[in-house]
Structure 1
Amino acid sequence: MNKAVVQATNKFSGKKFATKDADLTTSVKLYTLAQCRPDLSSEDCHFCLSNATSMLPTCCEYTQGARVISSSCNIRYEIYHFYNATTVPAPAPSPTNKQGNRGISRQVIIAIVVPIVVVSLVVLLVGLRFLTGRTMKKKQYGSIKERNEEDEISTVESLQYELNTIDLATTSFSADNKIGVGGFGDVYKGILPNGREIAVKRLSKCSAQGAKEFKNEIVIVAKLQYKNLTRLLEFCLEGEEKILIYEFVPNKSLDHFLFEKQQLLDWSRRYRIIEGIAKGMLYLHEDSLLKIVHHDLKASNILLDGDMNPKISDLGMARIFNVDQSRENTIRIIWLHGSRVRIAWSILCKV
């Protein structure tokens, strides 16, 4: 689109009109068009088209085609060939009055009125399309927050495991297999019948807030697939047992290395860990289908795989935001061990 704008505003051509196409994939092309009123100067044309182009990321990021139309210029893109390559803008109306002193000619009136009517109708249609699209997006993403918890669990029902299979994998939750303790309960290492190693998070039966966090984590993590996030494999909801089953990450958490094995963290590893955490957070905030704020990011919730690559875990406190939402009012206080968190990040970054 920017190339089309540059070509349309070339003061030597004087056309105030350009089309450009580009290959999106081997089978899909993008077609763009930029056009100004012929009587505009090159500078005014460029200003108008640049403003129109800057609106595309906010108005049309989910569409396969769009138009931005103003009284002085318009731009358009589609994934089909919507223009004739030989099309050129109509010349500016001639100032010559063919009827002498009898007033403005009929041709001039038509040339002035018709474009105004057409532009007004198109602007109205584009506005309706834009508002409808935003309403649909809000309904699509807002429905994630509005559904009740039982419906949310059912959407990932295919991930549910039987309790006896988990009991067998962890040797009846043997103390020898315990690898961690969290606010929600204990974490165990398990081995499935096919030999796959798993991490089993068992919700404490006396935890008052664990059930909500358990369901929240299933709904959120089941929809996310990224290399720097721990991957949910299955869950179990049977009787009073509430269990999450994750991929097993052998090198424990980041705070284990920061406070007990700091000598193993050379600068190259620290840099890779910092970069991986940043990529995981960027995915949650910007690149995933859902817009998610972790709400409990700390060194103990960063797990390290066999190659010391970081994986963000524990999304029980996470919040789902609407696509265009930038803030949220909360009524729940989450206590973080502030001094230990600050010390951990200071050690990692060598501040």
Structure 2
Amino acid sequence: MAWYLKYVIPLIFSIITLNFTATRAQGLSYQYQVCSTNKFTPNSTFQRDLTTLFSSLSSTASSNVEFFNNTVTAGTNSSDTVYGLFLCRGDIPSDLCNHCVGNATQRLSTHADCTLSKAAVVYYDECIVRYSNRSFFSTLTMQAGYALWNPTNMTNQESFKRLLYDTMNKTADDAAHFPTGAKKFATRETSIDIFQKLYCLAQCTQDLFPGDCRSCLDSLINSDLPGCCAGSQGGRVYYPNCIIRFEIYPFFRSLPTAPTPSPAGLVPPTNSGENKSRSRTIILIVVPIVSLATFLTLLYYVLWRRARKSSKILLRKNFGEESSTLQGLQFDLVTIKEATNNFSPENEIGKGGFGEVYKGILLDGRYIAVKRLSKSSRQGSVEFRNEILLIAKLQHKNLVAFIGFCLEEEEKILIYEYVSNRSLDYFLFGYPEEKLSWYQRYNIIKGTALGIFYLHEYSRLKVIHRDLKPSNVLLDENMNPKISDFGLARIVDIDQNRAETNRIVGTYGYMSPEYAMFGQFSEKSDVFSFGIMILEIITGKKNGNSYKSNEDDGGLMSNVWRNWTNQTPLSILEPNMKENYFETEVIRCIEIGLLCVQENPNMRPTIAEVVSYLNDLTIELPSPQEPAFFSHGIDQKAVMQQESSSNSSVIGSMPFSVNEMSISDFYPR
């Protein structure tokens, strides 16, 4: 945005806030998408029908319409028929509805996951757009759902939950009582205490029967809400037919109310001369204000269009063809400065080779962690571009969630949802009085394994992290682990077993031998790093030097291996855990850790096998071989240590279903 906007825009808003705020252009909040793996043929009749459908949805949304469904078929073959709809949130203005539907149809037609899908649904905070090759109108669909929640919990959980369920159910009743075809939207607010209020919203698509609408909302409130969000300070659940949301701040807009009619037969008295005088006064005051407001609005629009055009050019310059899919993730610098109090030192929560990390809060109440790359950072434009293209496509409850980025001529900023500034490294090797219990450590091991499992197996991209270590595992308020820092991550082909690099980067002490010596990385090199972490979690000791010879009694792995072979594995436990653990779980985790750090990568288990070992205690484990003790002339100066590049995190988010929507196949990754 041009430099003079920061002076012009405050002037505009200070004068016309009350009149202009409700209708000004606003940014969209993309949430999630689910696209079918069932694909159609490029340039087919189905694709032409889909293009026509998207055009009809976008054009109708520009006509002050909040809900619209349409069927498009150009031929005699029923398999070419496309069914689609959009639903805009009931409180947003028509221009924002139009903007949202336009963005959603563009995303579905250009995003790599969805371009040739026969069915898809995309969720924005402002609208839902959905299409399929099978009719779904007036049909309740309880699949392809998604939830998002605030990581901060309410203090009085039980009383808040009772109030939440009561208010949300009343809101659902309000929304569902409207007949088929009518707007099914309702909001409520109620007091939590003298200082706080609870705000609730519920909505269904207008094609549903009232009973189906209430059933849909009932499932969200009484089945999905307890599992994700009930005790949080805010949460939302989306399904193709209905949505709910609650916050402790006013997030919805006030709806206009009809004027109260005068009692029948009564005409208020008038004073002609007084009214004429008032009219002249109103004209003298209002006309100049309206004229000035109109002028400033036009000025703002011209400057906004110019800044937007400049932003698009910068996006295209840095991201090429991918720029169109990233527009919804871009923030302007003014917004980030406001969220972080202009990057104040009080908001700084971390620092590394990349620059500083700041805590902030957006206008919608979301807490964020802002990773601001310094000009002297080793992470240049290429790495910044690659990290965004990677993390924008990753979503899992055990990964730090990515919100967006800011890219201006002098700034490169990554934005994550804030979890905390506490890392596993801090709790393991920080202050003794804050050591974790075995129950918490075991959950951290299992949660971290699930995050790696998603990267290796369940993400549509196979991702090798390359820098797994305790300082890159953040812990939320409930001690759930979230893997962070994807600055060194690499995408490899699904069937690719190994890759090589001449630039060995990472953290000494967690590198597998084949990577440290030969630059060879694979899933098994991540498994090696995870094995080191397991042993650190159990022993409470840092593996400061993995590559000492086995004659050195001070090394972590040599100490663990010696006690394992001497059949005294419990001797390695962190002292604070004595008599406060399950012996079977501890010994099994030690054995899994040793299996992961074997020198031969082919002998190490896959992360999928590790997850199965942790979840099923009846599976018999293979006997581990001697760990990777080696000192084969490694030049330690050649190994670049790179600190964790995100002390960030996250409102949790997750898809509720990986099943089909309607009858078409979906693959929500």
* CA distance 1:332–1:152, shift in 2 (3 Å): farther
Identify which of 497, 518, 538 aligns with 1:349.
Answer: 538
Alignment of 1:18-37 (within 5 A): none
AA matched with 1:250: S
Tell me how far apart the structure 2 counterparts of residues 335 and 278 of structure 1 sit (CA, whole Å).
19
Structure 2 distance, partners of 1:210, 1:272, is 36
Q: Secondary structure at the match of 1:323?
A: coil
Corresponding residue SS for 2:338: helix
* Counterpart among 180, 192, 200 of residue 370 in structure 2: 200
Correspondence 1:284-295 to 2 at 5 A: 284-295=455-466
Deviation at 1:326, TM superposition (A): 0.8
Aligned residue number for residue 403 of structure 2: 233
Work out which of the residue numbers 213, 218, 223 in structure 1 matches 2:383: 213
* Equivalent residue number for residue 316 of structure 1: 487
Give 1:316 deviation, angstroms: 1.1
Q: Distance in 2 between matches of 1:283 and 1:292?
A: 9
Q: Share of identical aligned residues, percent?
A: 55
**TM score, norm. by length of structure 1:** 0.55
Q: Distance in 2 between matches of 1:233 and 1:349?
A: 33
C-alpha separation in 2, matches of 1:337 and 1:207: 20
Aligned to 2:344: 174
C-alpha distance in 2 between matches for 1:319 and 1:280: 16
Q: Which runs of 5+ in 1 are unaligned?
A: 1-61, 65-139, 142-147
2:328 aligns with one of 134, 140, 158: 158
TM-score, normalised via structure 2 length = 0.30
Q: Which residue, 476, 499, 502 being the options, matches 1:328?
A: 499
Mapped to 1, the partners of 2:505 and 2:421 lie a distance apart of 27
SS of alignment partner, residue 505 of structure 2: coil
Q: Which amino acid aligns with 1:168?
A: E
Q: Does residue 442 of structure 2 align to residue 271 of structure 1?
A: yes
- Residues 151 and 206 (structure 1), Cα distance of their counterparts in 2 relative to 1, 3 Å cut: farther
Distance in 2 of aligned mates of 1:183 and 1:298: 16
Distance 1:208 1:312 in 2: 22
Opposite residue 242 of structure 1, the aligned amino acid is: K
List alignment gaps of at least 5 residues for structure 2: 1-36, 40-111, 114-317, 512-528, 540-571, 573-669
| Residues 170, 190 of structure 1: 8 Å contact kept | yes
Give, as a single letter, the amino acid of the residue that structure 2 aligns with 1:151.
Answer: E
How far did 1:306 drift?
A: 0.8
Q: Say if 1:170 and 1:251 are closer, same or farther in 2 by CA, change over 3 A.
A: closer
Please give the per-residue CA displacement for 1:254-305, whole angstroms capped at 9, x wherever unaligned. Answer: 1111121454300000000010110000110011100110011111110111
Judged with a 3 Å threshold, the aligned counterparts in structure 2 of structure 1 residues 209 and 343 are, in CA distance, closer, same or farther, namely same
Taking a change above 3 Å as real, the CA distance of residues 151 and 308 of structure 1, as seen in their structure-2 partners, is: same
Distance 2:494 2:532 in 1: 34
The SS at the match of 2:499 is coil
CA 1:212–1:349: 2 relative to 1, 3 Å: farther
Higher relative contact order, chain-length normalized (CA < 8 Å, sep 6+): 2
Q: Distance in 1 between matches of 2:324 and 2:427?
A: 38
Note the C-alpha offset of 1:335: 4.1
Change (3 A) 1:329 1:344: closer
Equivalents in 1 of 2:352, 2:378: separation in Å? 14
Distance 1:159 1:334 in 2: 28
In the alignment, which residue of structure 1 is the partner of 2:509? 338
Distance in 2, Cα, partners of 1:251 & 1:202: 16
Is residue 153–residue 218 contact of structure 1 (8 Å, CA) maintained in 2? no
**Alpha-carbon offset, residue 346 of structure 1:** 3.5
The one-letter code of the counterpart of 2:418 is F
Aligned pairs for 1:118-133 (under 5 A) are none
Q: Does 1:307 align with 2:478?
A: yes
Aligned to 2:357: 187
**Contact in 2 for aligned 1:199/1:247 (Cα 8 Å):** yes
| Matched position secondary structure for 1:199 | strand
Which amino acid in 1 is paired with 2:450? K
- Provide closer, same or farther for how the CA distance between residues 196 and 235 of structure 1 changes in structure 2, counting only shifts above 3 A: same
Q: SS of 1:338's equivalent?
A: coil
